[in-house]
Amino acid sequence: MGNKSSLRKFFRNTYFKITPFLPENPLVNIFNKHFGHLRSAQLHKPMDADGTELPWFTYPAIEYLSQLDFSDKTFFEWGSGNSSVFFSKRVKSITSIEANEEWYSIGLTRLSSNQNLILAAKDEYANRIKVSDKKYDVIIIDGIVREECAAFAPAYLNEGGMIIYDNSERDPLVCKSLRERGFIQIDFHGVGPVNFYSWTTSLFFKDFNFKPKENQPVVPRGGIK
């Protein structure tokens, strides 16, 4: 594991050094400039080319979710960070549960009026969704004890709501358990901010009560208008 980590670090550092001198490649240009991947990787923060916060999801998932109108929707999220900032600008309200004290402290400095950030120990983390006894339009699973969170989530999801499960390729049995409870699973495979590998962000829903902000599909980043 240590050798793999060192190899990744070496690759990243070498890539940053040689990229400015490589012949321009249209696909690499879209990836690094339009999506802002080079900047996000260098700063190790999920962000776009303008420095705007992004969820640490795959780019295909971010592109799709960015087309939906969440202005009247309530969000609940296990795991906080740039996703909290990103969605707080687009939703009616968002409640985030965080187990890491450092991330919690950082989150407190960036709270907006429609956000609620809660620090929870591991043994109460998944259970925190029970406290307010509310249901939500969107529930994000992107923190610790994901199997427990996925077990709780359906009971607290509004009709027509959506579960977003990041890094779902790591938990095929958890995803299977949601499908067995009647959810449709839509996978967004691909690369995303910061990382130099691909992964999967999945959406789960039964009925789908979300409208696009405009006609779909829109011209994607790096597309031809």
pLDDT over 90 for what percent of the chain?
78
Q: Which tens digits make up the pLDDT trace of 181-225?
A: 999 999 999 999 999 999 999 999 999 999 999 888 888 888 887
Task: Out of 3.30.1360.30, 3.10.270.10, 3.40.50.720, 3.40.50.150, select the CATH number for domain 59-205.
Answer: 3.40.50.150
Q: Which tens digits make up the pLDDT trace of 91-118?
A: 999 999 999 999 999 999 999 999 999 9
Residue 76: CB atoms within 10 A of its CB come to 27
Confidence label for 73 from pLDDT (cuts 50, 70 and 90) = very high
- For residue 56, pLDDT over 80 is answered with yes
Return the structure tokens found at 4: 């793999």
- The set of residues, in sequence order, having a beta carbon less than 8 Å from that of 132 and lying 6+ positions away, is 95
Return the structure tokens found at 77: 């999220």
Report domain extents, the chain: 2-43, 59-205
Sequential DSSP letters for 87-106: HHTTSSEEEEEE--HHHHHH
Mean pLDDT of 16-32: 78
